[in-house]
Every structure is written in structure tokens, then in C-alpha cells.
Amino acid sequence: MPDVARAAKSPSSTPALLAVLAGNAVTPPPMWLMRQAGRYLPEYRQVREQAGGFLDLCYTPELAAEVTLQPIRRYGFDAAILFSDILVVPDALGQRVAFVEGEGPRLEPVRSGADLARLDRARTHATFQRVFETVGRARKALAAETALIGFCGAPWTVATYMVAGRGSVDQADARLWAYRDAAGFAALIDLLADTSIDYLDGQVLAGADVLQIFDTWAGALPEPEFERWVVAPTHRIVTELKRRHPLVPIIGFPRGAGSKAARYLEATGVDGLGCDTGVALEEMRALSQRGKAVQGNLDPLLLVAGGEALNVRVRETLHAMRGAPFIFNLGHGIVPETPPDHVAELVALVRAQGA
Ligand code: CP3
């Protein structure tokens, strides 16, 4: 595999993230962090206050584009990720979503065919349009070498919030619906897959260079439900997006998939695998030998702790992944307690590789 050294002598406007997602190793690896825009940044908290509610921020393109760019200005990451949320999809479908301060999302639960019948894919356009405008504004403001990542939640993960009406530790409500009435639950998953295709397609048309599908609760499902509710709908979304936009790479993040991650990587058709904190470095290395990129997987709490523990782990990660198509990231999102200086230290550590 070619190892493209990123020296100043060979400036390129092709984002390093795209080179890695095409299967190449790049040194130092491109990096971005899940939840890189968020409450740990004082400039985010200021805009958030100005916007009012969290969803108001997501639906105000000027402000959402501004917070998308904030971490790029501060740290020079290789990619910006659209500022939005996975729960914009149920909100656009007509299931009212509220973010309660300090408590997380609240939705009127969808538990039956009748609840489902009230959701309408045709009405999502006006809401999605505001997100697409954010994408357009952010892409226009970014340098050519910085990739813009669009995203959605995977149908399974979004369904867990829609069915429970909130975040839950075990996703029991969605799992029970799937066991008791697989055909009814399939109708919800199909609606979410179709709507996610509309949503991602619009993001690409507006300027997203890369897509990520967040399946935060993939680990809650045993086989064969993992196959049915995680792999199959993701494969459908990926296949349709690739038919429409063959050059736009897709990263899948099946958090907690464990030994099923390899199957997910093979069967969904994604170009890159987001690895959570639980994936051992040797395993991440092995997964990268399949001609696909891997991304991950630093513990977000190491970024809170900082110091020697962070240094050691970053060095181990870079060493383990050297020469592989690898994107440096966390194993889950940044937590609000993260000192911004520790993020700057992390960027310096990663960028020092090969220097
Ligand atoms: O910087 C980025 O990564 C882009 C924006 C982004 C957000 N959420 C902003 C956000 C992205 C990609 C997400 C994804 C998301 N949202 C996921 C999947 C990834 C993961 O973290 O597992 C999930 C499960 C959600 C749903 C969600 N959104 C929850 C459960 C919560 C409340 C808990 C929390 O962390 O506050 C949110 C709110 C949210 N989404 C915030 C941000 C910056 C904090 C809201 C605030 O400013 O008050």
C-alpha cells in the first residue's frame, strides 16, 4: 500500500481523508474528532446561548455553519463535520423532538402502526433544506484540503430513540418491539432507511465530501437481529448512495459491534469502519488489512485526563496503525469536560508523526 508522506514540499488540495478512504496510508494520518463542535468549546457555548434551543441552533444555517467551522479554526482538523443531530430525522418526519437541558432528548414515543402512520416522509423537505443550507455554507467557507463530513444516524439507532422516547441504557423498548412484531418494526426501519437516503443525498448535493452513518447502539443486538436491523438497512443506504454518488466515501460506525465489526465492514459496503474504544489496536490493524480504511479509537476520557496517559496511548496507536489506511479519531464523542488545551496537545502529538 502506498504511504503518502504529507510533506510541505508536495502540497495537494485533495483532502487527506479522501486519500485514506480510497485505501491509502497517509503519514501523519488525517484526524478529526467525533463531537468536535460542542460544549467543551467556549465559542460553541456562546453561539449556543445566542441560538436559544439546541434544535434552533441546528436549524439556523448561519449559526450551525459557524459552529461547524469553529474546531477547524482552532485546531486545523483534516475534516469538519456538519453541525446537526441524528434526531433531526424523526423531528422532520413529524415526531416532535425536544432537548431538555441536562437531560438529553425527549420524543413522543412511536410504539405502534398508528403512531408510525402519523410520520410523513414527504414533509421532511422544509426541515432538511435548512440542514442542506448549513452544508453549503460550511463547504464554501472551508479550504479545499479540509473535507466536509455529512452524517445521519443509522435506522436502528434512531429507532431506539423514537421508540423509547429518550435515550436508554439497554434500548429495551426497540428490541422488544422488534421481537414481538418484526413486520411492524421493519416498517419503521424501512421508513428511516428511505428518509436517511433523502437526507444524505441532499447533503452530498449541497457539498458534503464524505458521509458517516452513526450506529451508536449497534452493540445492543445479538445475531441474527444485528444482521436484520443493523447490516441490512445500512447496506441498503450505502448501495443507494453509491449508485447516486459513486465517488463519495461512506464511514460506518457500528459502536459496540465487537466481533461482528468485520462482518459489518464486508457486508454493508462502507469504505471505512469507525472503531469504538473497545476494539484492540491489533484488531483495528487487522481490520485495516481488508482494503478498507479504519478510524478510531482513543478513549474520550484520555482527552479529559491528558498528560502521560494520553501521550503513551497516542504513540501506541500511531505505531500500531503506521502504514495502514487509518484516520485518527476518538472511540466515541468528546465529552463536555474536555479541556480545549488537551485537544491542542493531541493534535500536536499526531501531527508530529513522521516529522
Ligand atoms: O461535532 C459533531 O460531531 C457534529 C454534530 C453532532 C451532534 N450530535 C451535536 C450534538 C453529531 C454528529 C451528533 C450525533 C449524535 N447525536 C449521536 C451519534 C453519536 C454518539 O454520540 O453516539 C447521538 C446518539 C445523538 C443524539 C443526541 N444528541 C443525544 C443523546 C444528545 C444529548 C446528550 C448530549 O451529549 O448532550 C444530543 C445533543 C447534542 N448533539 C449536543 C451536541 C453538540 C449537545 C447539545 C447542547 O449543546 O446542549
Pairing between β-strand 326-330 and β-strand 293-298 as defined by DSSP bridges: parallel
Q: Whose CA is nearest to atom 48 of ligand 1?
A: 54
Which pLDDT does position 10 carry in this prediction?
41
Which pLDDT does position 128 carry in this prediction?
98
DSSP H or E stretch at residue 301: helix 300-305
Reading the block at residue 10, the C-alpha cell is: 508536495
What value does the CA radius of gyration of the chain take, rounded to a whole number of Å? 19
> Which residues lie with the beta carbon below 6 Å from any ligand 1 atom?
34-39, 48, 54, 81, 83-87, 99, 104-105, 151, 153, 167, 214, 216, 333
Up-side HSE of residue 1: CA atoms within 13 Å toward CB? 22
- Pocket residue to mutate for ligand 1, from 86, 101, 332, most atoms within 8 A of Cβ: 86
Q: Whose CA is nearest to atom 10 of ligand 1?
A: 85
Whole-angstrom distance, CA of residue 293 vs CA of residue 350: 18
Which pLDDT does position 2 carry in this prediction?
46
| 129 CA → ligand 1 middle, Å | 20
In ligand 1, the atom with minimum distance to the C-alpha of 37 is 1
Reading the block at residue 212, the C-alpha cell is: 458517516
Which pLDDT does position 343 carry in this prediction?
98
Which pLDDT does position 8 carry in this prediction?
39
Q: Whose CA is nearest to atom 46 of ligand 1?
A: 54
> pTM for the full model?
0.96
Q: Whose CA is nearest to atom 17 of ligand 1?
A: 86
CB within 8 Å of 244: residues ≥ 6 apart: 201, 204
Q: Where are the alpha helices (DSSP H) in 144-181?
A: 155-164, 172-180
In ligand 1, the atom with minimum distance to the C-alpha of 151 is 12
For 36, 51, 58, 129, 328, the CA distances from 74, given in Å and listed in that order, are 11, 21, 21, 28, 17
Reading the block at residue 318, the C-alpha cell is: 500511531
| 117 CA → ligand 1 middle, Å | 27
| 200 CA → ligand 1 middle, Å | 18
**Cis before 224 (ω within 30):** yes
- Pocket residue to mutate for ligand 1, from 31, 32, 35, most atoms within 8 A of Cβ: 35
pLDDT (tens place) for every residue of the chain, 355 residues total? 445 555 433 446 789 999 999 999 999 999 999 999 999 999 999 999 999 999 999 999 999 999 999 999 999 999 999 999 999 999 999 999 999 888 999 999 999 999 999 999 999 999 999 999 999 999 999 999 999 999 999 999 999 999 999 999 999 999 999 999 999 999 999 999 999 999 999 999 999 999 999 999 999 999 999 999 999 999 999 999 999 999 999 999 999 999 999 999 999 999 999 999 999 999 999 999 998 999 999 999 999 999 999 999 999 999 999 999 999 999 999 999 999 999 999 999 999 987 6
Region label for 94, one of left (φ > 0), alpha (ψ between -120 and 50) or beta (otherwise): left
Q: Which residues are catalytic?
A: 35, 39, 48, 85, 161
Q: Whose CA is nearest to atom 34 of ligand 1?
A: 104
pLDDT tens-place string over residues 211-253: 999 999 999 999 999 999 999 999 999 999 999 999 999 999 9
Whole-angstrom distance, CA of residue 139 vs CA of residue 64: 12
Report whether 322 contacts 314 (CB < 8 A).
Answer: no
Q: Is the dihedral of CA 137, 99, 90, 192 positive or negative?
A: positive
- Pocket residue to mutate for ligand 1, from 85, 212, 217, most atoms within 8 A of Cβ: 85
| 35 CA → ligand 1 middle, Å | 7
In ligand 1, the atom with minimum distance to the C-alpha of 33 is 3
Which pLDDT does position 74 carry in this prediction?
98
In three-state secondary structure terms, 273 is strand
Reading the block at residue 152, the C-alpha cell is: 445521519
